[in-house]
């Protein structure tokens, strides 16, 4: 399922996004960093097909003229912050 989602997003990035930018003008891009399509890809990779798609869809709904803007990274998986490299995985002492 991840492969299908990745292919659809890559198709959008390669073929549909340039057409939308040409029709909408130079300031018609995404208001966030990473862009909504890159966010969707990162969310699917980090959280899997179902949860990642949900996060990506929620992000697309936040991307509108009256919404926010700026840096909006994919949230980490629950419990992933405790297993970061260079930090022992175990109870805090």
Contact 52, 32 (CB under 8 A): no
Query: Which tens digits make up the pLDDT trace of 57-89?
Result: 999 998 888 888 899 999 998 876 655 455 554
Query: Which tens digits make up the pLDDT trace of 18-41?
Result: 998 899 887 787 889 999 999 999
Residue 59 lies inside a defined structural domain of this protein: yes
Q: Which of 42, 70, 76 is nearest to 56 (CA)?
A: 42
Q: Report the pLDDT averaged over residues 4-11.
A: 95
Residue 71 DSSP label: E
Cα–Cα dist 36/1, whole Å? 19
Residue 66 lies inside a defined structural domain of this protein: yes
Q: Please, which pLDDT band fits residue 93 given cuts at 50, 70 and 90?
A: very low
Residue 41 DSSP label: H
**In the chain, how many domains are there?**
1
* Structural domain for 64, as ranges: 30-74
Q: How far is CA 25 from CA 13, 19, 21, 70, 79, in A?
A: 16, 10, 6, 20, 42
Residue 69 lies inside a defined structural domain of this protein: yes
């Amino acid at each position: 399922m991840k492969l299908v989602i990745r292919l659809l997003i890559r198709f959008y990035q390669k073929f549909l996004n340039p057409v939308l930018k040409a029709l909408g003008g130079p300031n018609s891009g995404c208001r966030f960093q990473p862009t909504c399509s890159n966010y969707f890809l990162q969310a699917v990779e980090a959280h899997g097909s179902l949860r990642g798609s949900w996060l990506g869809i929620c992000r697309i709904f936040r991307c509108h003229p009256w919404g926010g803007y700026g840096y909006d990274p994919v949230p980490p998986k629950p419990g992933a912050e405790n297993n970061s490299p260079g930090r022992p995985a175990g109870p805090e002492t």
